[in-house]
Every structure is written in structure tokens, then in C-alpha cells.
Structure 1
Amino acid sequence: MSLNHEIKIDGQRSENSHVAEHTIDERKLVRKIDLHVIPWLALLYLINFLDRGSIGNAKLYNLEADIGINDRQYLIALTVFFFPYAILEPASNVLLRRFKPRIYLSTMMLMWGMVMAFHGVIENYGGLLTVRVLLGATEAGLYPGIVFYITSWYKRSEMGSRIALFFSSATVAGAFSGLLSAAISKMDGVAGRSGWEWIFILEGLGTIAIALASYWVIQDFPDTATFLTQEERAFVVRRLTDDLKLSAGGESFCKEYIWQSLTDWKTWVANTYFSNVSDGPLYAFSLFTPSIINQVSFRATEANLLSVPVYAWGCFLTCIIGFLGDRIGARSYINLSLFGVGLIAYTILIVSRSPALSYFAVYLAVSLICRKANSVAWVASNVEGSYKRSVTLGMAIGFGNINGAVTANIYRAKDRPWYRLGHAIVLFYITTGFACSVLFAVLLKRENARRERGERDEIIVGAISDRAHERNGTYNNVEEAKVSKGDKWSGFRYVL
């Protein structure tokens, strides 16, 4: 790896020719980054997922009866969460890039922790709607923000496993949520409050504590990271730019980058892709798994406890898939295989009349959660330019979250115990997402072929060029073309 040209570190230009390649062990440096970046992000997402889905556990401990709401009102309360959550995500990602992640992510978490605690003092339907809207607004941006943040630290061949490690905390949250809710429910009657109220209050206070610690734990971007030496920061930025992540050394905000994202076909295929398969089924699974298990002849506490091994299996599988995607690089084939498992799972859930068979199918259905980290890494790997990537990921994940408003309403009480309508709608999502994944792979492969044939070549001043390529732009040198065009540069190759 060559480190013999200037890069921007801590806002200054620094000549790094004196930093010999052999003076820094790249593998040790990556492990150092892993230890400082990934564990805390995983903890934040665990808390995020735990707080978001705890209402599904609280429901089993008389939430509806205590505040006087019916099943339709409960579903509406789940729905309203997703509108501010989805709408605010794309803008949130741009703000994260412009401001320090340490301040932005920590403040976001502090605010939703307070809202979470307020869930425990509501007394009626209006109060429930209010806190759910506020929770959606304050949680917006954490997931796409963390994904974008991770992509700013790692090469394209490294992102899948790191996103999987961070995302696996969602499956841990699913398991831990059942255990925690079952334990906290034992506080029913303490200080005159119900078990479900204590679930919200204690989880909210825990979130606030983690948020306060985050102000000191979270690092910013590689070019300013305090846990790295000057030489290590230069090395990290250079290894990223060598991986065609040319914005790693710092990128000034420009409206053009947002326009590049909005006019890129990958943004819109990714939007359809995430909207139709990633987030809709994911939220349906996380919000209703306890109820699905409960309605096939298991009691509330048993249902929460039986969800634990399901999520534990999902956590293990998520990590395996993430590492496999980085190792073999065939992210499209991995996705399609997991789609197939999901199709089998929900077909079984639709036709099953056996509690044991339905419970087995839930283990297969968790593959939809396992696949998401690989999908995010696939999209992120094919978008260059930090602001462009932040907008693309923010839009894809944000629009996908709108489907949470749909799937929050498909598991109706009148359809129990088998919830066939809900399972059929999720099956439709999976089928549509399968088609979008195939389309995404075909179009990426076609574009790579065009670049191999020279159809996307730019004109470089002073070099021998085909004037027919004027439509691809004219640049003073190759570096200018790289920085200006990002993944549209003729030398950039998309990964499948």
C-alpha cells in the first residue's frame, strides 16, 4: 500500500512519504478500530431495538386494558411511530456527516431515552399516541447513521462483517427483550405501578445512562480519531482511498452530492429493495413474534421466553452471513438464498395448524433479519462519495421504514391464532424484494460490462481520448475525475 502522497488529517494537509508501509501492521490497526468502534455501536443499536420493540412485550402484561384501548387503537399507536421515523432519516444522515457523530448520536439517544421513560406514565390513548410519535422522531436516524458511520471506517470488503456484528445486536435485543420483560413484570404493583409501566421506565432510564456515556465513548471520523496516532490516521485514510473511497480524507458539503444521489438509479432500486423486503418483514417479526408464539397456545411469559432462542439463532446466523459476504463477496447470491428460506418459512406459517410447526417456521423466518446486514453492505459498497452515500442510505432505509406502518397493522387480533393475512402480506414483501434484488444485480453487472468496453470513459486533458466520450465529462486529470464522479467514474467497479 502506498502512502506517499498528501491527505487531509485533522483539517490540514500532511505529507506522509516518511511513513513506510512496513511501520504499521494493517491487521492490528483494523482490530484496533474494531475494538473502539463496533462494540459501542452494537450496544446503541441493541438499546434502540429493545426500546422500539418493548411495546410488543408490554402488551402481554395488560397495557391495553390499563389505558383503555382496543386492538385497533393499539395498531394505530404502532403505526404513528413510523411516519416521523421514516421522514426524518435522510436529513438526519446529512446532519450526521456535517456535525460530529459523538454529539449527534449521543444527543439523539438521550432524547429518546427520556421519551421511553415517559411511556411508563401514560394513562390513556392520547398519551400513547404522543409518546409513540415522539419516539419515532427521536430515534430517527440512528440506524442509517450508524451504517453510514461504519462505511466511513472500513473498506468495501470489510463492511459486511462489521455491519453484521453491529446489526446482530438487534437479534440479541429480541432475545434479551423477552428475558428482561419477563423479569421486570415481576415488579407489578411496586410503587403502585403495573409491570408494563416498569418495563418502559427502567428501559428508558437505562437508555439515558448509556447516552450520557456515549458523549465520551463515540469517536468521530478516521481523519480526526483521537485513539489513533497521526500516522495511523493517515494510513487509515489512505487505505480507504485506495479502495476507491476517495472521500475518506474529508469532503466538503455540496448540494451537488445530494443531487447525484437523487438522480442515481441505484438509489431508487435500493429504495424499492429495502422498502419491500428489509424493513417491513423485520418490523412485523420484531413487533409480533411474542404474540404469534403466544397465540399458538403459549402463555405470555412463556411466549416471551420462547422468543429468546429464536433471536439467539438469528444473532449467530447474522454474524456468519456477514463474514461470509466479506469472504466470498457474492452478496447477491447470499441474499437470494436467504429469500428462499424466508419464502419457505412464511408458506409454512400460512398453512400450518400445528403450534410446534409454526414455532419451527419462526426459526426459518429469522433469516429475513439475518439478511439485512448483507443487503446494507451491498448497497453501501456500490455508492461512493460520503454525502452521496449518506443520502442514499438514509433514503433507502428511511423509505423502507414507512413499511413498518403497514406491517404494524397486518397482525390483527381477529385473525388469531394463525394470522394468515399478516403472513401472506409478508410473503408478498419477500417475493417483491427477491425480484428487486435480481434487478439490482443484473443492472450492476451490465454497468460493469459497459465500463470494461470503455463506454463510460472520460476525457482527460492532455491524454489521447475519443471525442465521442465528451458526454462523460472532461477533467484535468484522473484524480479530479475520481473525486468529482465518485462511483460514476469509469474506473469504479460495482460489487455483486
Structure 2
Amino acid sequence: MEKNATPQQPAIDAQVIGVLQAEATPEEEKRILRKIDWHIIPVMGLCYMLQYMDKVTLGYATQLNLRQDLNLHGSEYSWCSSVFYFGYLFWSWPSSYISVRFPLGKYLGASVAVWGLVLLTHAWCKSFAGLLTARLFLGITEAAVAPGFSLITGMFYKTSEQPSRMALWFLGNAVANVVSGLIAYAIGRIDSHIASWKLLFIILGSVTIFYGIVLVFVLPDSPSKAWFLNDYEKKIALHRTLENRTGVMDEGEFKVSQMLDALTDPQAWLLVGYSLTQNIPNGGFSSFSSIIINGFGFSELNSLLLSAPSGLLQIAAIVGICLTAKYVKKSRIITMIVVILFALVGVILMNTLPDSNRWGRWVGIFLLGPFATSIPISLSLITSNVGGFTKKATVSAMLFVAYCTGNIIGPQLFLSDEAPKYPTGLRGVLVGFALAIFFLILLFIYYEYENRRRDKKYGPAHLQAEADYVTEDFMNLTDRQIPSFRYTL
């Protein structure tokens, strides 16, 4: 422990005793878990749905004459797609610091409300410069959400529960995949003096502002501050997650030593490699999928409708991931590889089938649906395998820097003079998926090696007493500082 921790020791000891005494029966714990689920997961899922819809609105707006009205030429649309992630990248590190230093739930709610306001301003853009600026600030305001949600999941749920809970709030992404195209299609059918693409931004921006205000009041900052739990239930909520050994009780202090630990951790850099390469395809297809479908020979409005079914496959993949994570050990990284393999097959179909087979090429787009479900599993690896609140926030920021970088690179591979087939973009996507699988295989090997090394050196982790790992949690140790820590695969 740090030297300045000594004066606080009596208060910490009292808190440790209070949490240790808060042992619940299995029935009580299930009741409290259900209470947490119903008050947190739907709230985060709906927010994540809005985030995905707001992010891909630009792609749908291209089928509603945005490019023509703003007179976008050459690579200007690609830069409008990429600059969103420059904003995301810029704010990732400051956001990780704010997430530790300030009430997390209120910070996330305020961020959502501001991003809704920025989305609303898109409707008043009149040129490439205006749209570029609006997209930059949209990326800044959205940067807090996914890392913040992963921190909240790590605070409220046991390691074994985290993959399914992250998949459930990520379900909002899949639902948005289904409904966003339908919403854009419906708005495109509205007969109004306001351009359809402007209506799209006005409606979604207004809804997001309202929901951000709601989040400020309903999203808790931590288990000890959860408004829907009484004092006894808060102690149970803390008690049940202490076995994670990942520092759920050290929020409020940013530790430079933990940040440095994150920057020298092999698992962090393997996750960064995966995130970078996997999001090159993500950035490309989130902006160009409707244009690619239009290039298969479908009308602009029908292209919006044909974007929806891939979300259904994504929903099925999420259900499969939840069930696998619950019943199959060491399945997280394997399921990530499997869903990316689906996408790899889809890209191969799009690259190899003749232009005349437009439905076969559309199946390739359809098979891309599941690959994004690897993202919440990667976040669950951080919450389960990274100890220390500051280190967790830092690794989350590193992952999202890589996420942004990949999404910046992706649209730039889709060259305007190659529209609508984009052969260079599709080849880049193929390489991105292959490299993502490579990094995940290395990560699996690293976790297995490290767990066996620790077992050999320290003995089986389950022999450690509960009081020991409660004390470790209060000492704010990282995963590399705790001998009993074992990585979840």
C-alpha cells in the first residue's frame, strides 16, 4: 500500500468488516442480481442502441441525398466518416481520467445529452466543412459511453456474469442494426418541406438529448451509490464482486503506477492489436454498407431495408455467446474468433461472386452481422482480467484508441473512384479480419501460459482465503500484483 494510506486504515477496516459480514443466502443474492439486471442492463442497452443509430445515421443519410445537397466530392464523405473517430480518439484518454475522478453515471448521462445536441446540429450543416466539424464533435461526445459501460459492468457483476451482461447491453447495437434502416426508410417516405436527411438528424438528436437527461438520474455511479438498493443490498452487491479481484472499491483516485502497469502489460497490447485490425472492417462497413448494397443493383430506399437483416444474425450471435459463456469454460476468445470467421466468409463471397449474383453478394453483407459481437466480449476480458480501477480505465482507453484508429483507417480504404464495388476496401477488410484472429490466438496462448506459470509458482488460486482477496481489493492492486489472480479465457 502507499504511504499515505495509513491514516485511512481504521475507516477502511470498518468498511472491510461491513462488507465481509454481508453474506447473503443464494436466494437473496439471486434477488439482488435480478434487481441489478432490471435497473442497469435495459438502461445501458437502450443507450447503446441510440449510440449505434446516431453513429451510422450518416451512412443512411447518403441514401437520402445528403451528398448531393452538401455537394460532397471525392474523398470528402470518407473523411466525414473518419473524423468522427478522430474525436473519439481525442477524448478517450481524458474520458478515462474523468470516469475515475467524477461520478460515472452522471458523467455518462451528461455526455449522452451533449452528443444528442451535437447530432441535432447536423441538420443545419450546409457544406463539407460544417459536416466535418459536426462529426468531429459527435465523436468527442460519444467517446465516454462504451468504456464507461464496461466499467459499470465490472463493478456490478462477477467475472462469470460479465460476458453475458456485456452481450445483453450490446444487444442494443444489434437491435439498432435492424431498426435504424427501417427508421431511415420511413423518414425517407415522409413528404415534407424539410429534407429527409435533415429530419433523420433532428428526430434522432432530440430523442438522444431526452435520454441523456434520464440517464443522469437513473444510471448509478457504483454499487455503493445505487439508488435502487438499500444499505444491506449495497453491501451484498459489493461482497459478491470482491472475488473478481479487479478493484471495484477504489474509484475516485487516479493512480499513475497503475497507468504505467497498463502500458507495459502484454495482454493490453494484444487486445490493442485485435481492436485495431478488427475495426478497420468496422469503420468501412458502418459508413459504406448501404452504398455497397445500392451498388449491387438495389434502389436507394430498398438498400436501407436490406441493411436490416444482418442485425437479426447479430442478435442470434449474441444469444449464442450468452449461452456459450454460461455453459462452456474458456469460451470467450474462441467465440470471438468464430464470429469473425463468419465475417471472413462473407467478405470472400463479396470478393469472388460475379456482379450478376447480387443476392449472393448480399448474403456476404448479411454474414458480416455477427463480427461486431466480439467487441463486448473484448470489453469483458478487460473487466475480468485487468485489476485496479485506474488500470482498467487505462486499458479501456488504450483499446478505444485502437478502436478509433481502425475506424479511421477503414473508410480511407474505400476509394471514391472504385465505387460502388470498392475492391481495395474489401481486400483491406479481409486482411483486417485475418489479423484480428491472429492477435486473439496469441492472447489465448498468453493467458494459458500465465495461468500455468502462476499455478506452478504460487499454487492453485482457489486455496486463498476470502479475507485475503477482500484486503487485496481495498489495497487497489493490479492483476499482475496479485499472486492468486488467474486470467479468464
Asked whether the two chains share a fold, i.e. TM above 0.5, the reply is yes
Q: How does 1:68-217 map to 2 (within 5 A)?
A: 68-188=71-191, 190=192, 192-217=193-218
Whole-Å separation in 1 of the counterparts to 2:140 and 2:377: 26
Cross-structure match for 2:38: 35
Query: What letter is aligned with 1:486?
Result: T
Say whether residues 1:268 and 2:269 are aligned partners.
yes
Q: Deviations over 1:182-226 (max 9, x none)?
A: 1112335x3x32111111111111111111222222112001212
Q: CA deviation at 1:16?
A: 5.3
Structure 1 pair 86–80 and aligned structure 2 pair: CA distance change class (3 A): same
Q: How does 1:219-298 map to 2 (within 5 A)?
A: 219-248=220-249, 250=251, 252-277=253-278, 279-298=279-298
Whole-Å separation in 2 of the counterparts to 1:274 and 1:349: 23
For structure 1, the residue ranges without an aligned partner over 5 or more in a row are 1-5, 458-476
Q: Deviations over 1:368-395 (max 9, x none)?
A: 1122222221233211112211110121
How many residues were matched structurally? 469
Cross-structure match for 1:452: 455
Query: What letter is aligned with 1:229?
Result: N
Q: CA deviation at 1:102?
A: 2.6
SS of structure 1 residue aligned to 2:421: coil
Query: What letter is aligned with 1:256?
Result: S
Whole-Å separation in 2 of the counterparts to 1:97 and 1:449: 32
Q: CA deviation at 1:452?
A: 1.3
Whole-Å separation in 2 of the counterparts to 1:249 and 1:332: 28
Q: CA deviation at 1:101?
A: 2.1
Whole-Å separation in 1 of the counterparts to 2:459 and 2:276: 30
Contact 1:88-1:398 within 8 A present in 2 as well: no
Contact 1:318-1:373 within 8 A present in 2 as well: no
SS of structure 2 residue aligned to 1:492: coil
Structure 1 pair 16–359 and aligned structure 2 pair: CA distance change class (3 A): closer
Query: What letter is aligned with 1:158?
Result: E
Structure 1 pair 17–173 and aligned structure 2 pair: CA distance change class (3 A): closer
Q: Deviations over 1:395-439 (max 9, x none)?
A: 112222111111122223432343222111011011111111111
Q: CA deviation at 1:249?
A: 6.5
Query: What letter is aligned with 2:91?
Result: L
Q: CA deviation at 1:456?
A: 9.9
Q: Deviations over 1:278-327 (max 9, x none)?
A: x2222322222211211101111111111112212212322321332233
Cross-structure match for 1:469: none
Whole-Å separation in 2 of the counterparts to 1:350 and 1:84: 32
Q: Judge which range, 302-311 or 365-374, deviates more.
A: 365-374
Contact 2:175-2:315 within 8 A present in 1 as well: yes
SS of structure 1 residue aligned to 2:160: coil
SS of structure 2 residue aligned to 1:307: coil
Whole-Å separation in 2 of the counterparts to 1:249 and 1:76: 40
Cross-structure match for 1:461: none
Query: What letter is aligned with 2:479?
Result: D
Cross-structure match for 1:465: none
Q: Judge which range, 93-102 or 46-55, deviates more.
A: 93-102
Match of 1:493 among 481, 486, 489: 486
Q: Deviations over 1:317-353 (max 9, x none)?
A: 2232133223313112222222322222111111112
Contact 1:313-1:363 within 8 A present in 2 as well: yes
Match of 2:428 among 420, 425, 428: 425
Cross-structure match for 2:6: none
Cross-structure match for 1:462: none
Q: Deviations over 1:417-466 (max 9, x none)?
A: 43222111011011111111111111111111111111799xxxxxxxxx
Identity %: 25
Whole-Å separation in 2 of the counterparts to 1:90 and 1:53: 24
Cross-structure match for 2:5: none
Q: Judge which range, 320-329 or 246-255, deviates more.
A: 246-255
Whole-Å separation in 1 of the counterparts to 2:11 and 2:405: 38
Contact 1:89-1:140 within 8 A present in 2 as well: yes
Whole-Å separation in 1 of the counterparts to 2:485 and 2:103: 29
Cross-structure match for 2:358: 355
Whole-Å separation in 2 of the counterparts to 1:423 and 1:8: 58
Structure 1 pair 256–352 and aligned structure 2 pair: CA distance change class (3 A): same
Contact 2:49-2:176 within 8 A present in 1 as well: yes
Query: What letter is aligned with 2:412?
Result: N
Contact 1:169-1:315 within 8 A present in 2 as well: no
Whole-Å separation in 1 of the counterparts to 2:381 and 2:344: 21
Whole-Å separation in 1 of the counterparts to 2:32 and 2:389: 22
Q: Judge which range, 82-91 or 125-134, deviates more.
A: 82-91
Query: What letter is aligned with 1:332?
Result: I
Cross-structure match for 1:367: 370
Q: Deviations over 1:1-21 (max 9, x none)?
A: xxxxx9989x96663566453
SS of structure 2 residue aligned to 1:158: helix
Query: What letter is aligned with 2:298?
Result: F
Whole-Å separation in 2 of the counterparts to 1:153 and 1:349: 42
SS of structure 1 residue aligned to 2:457: coil
Whole-Å separation in 1 of the counterparts to 2:224 and 2:332: 29
TM-score normalized with structure 2 length: 0.90
Whole-Å separation in 2 of the counterparts to 1:434 and 1:40: 32
Contact 1:168-1:319 within 8 A present in 2 as well: no
Cross-structure match for 1:310: 310
Say whether residues 1:53 and 2:45 are aligned partners.
no
Cross-structure match for 1:410: 413
SS of structure 1 residue aligned to 2:308: helix
TM-score normalized with structure 1 length: 0.89
Structure 1 pair 271–55 and aligned structure 2 pair: CA distance change class (3 A): same
SS of structure 2 residue aligned to 1:182: helix
Whole-Å separation in 2 of the counterparts to 1:203 and 1:126: 22
Contact 2:310-2:368 within 8 A present in 1 as well: no
Q: CA deviation at 1:229?
A: 1.4
For structure 2, the residue ranges without an aligned partner over 5 or more in a row are 1-8, 461-467
Whole-Å separation in 2 of the counterparts to 1:249 and 1:96: 12
Contact 1:114-1:208 within 8 A present in 2 as well: yes
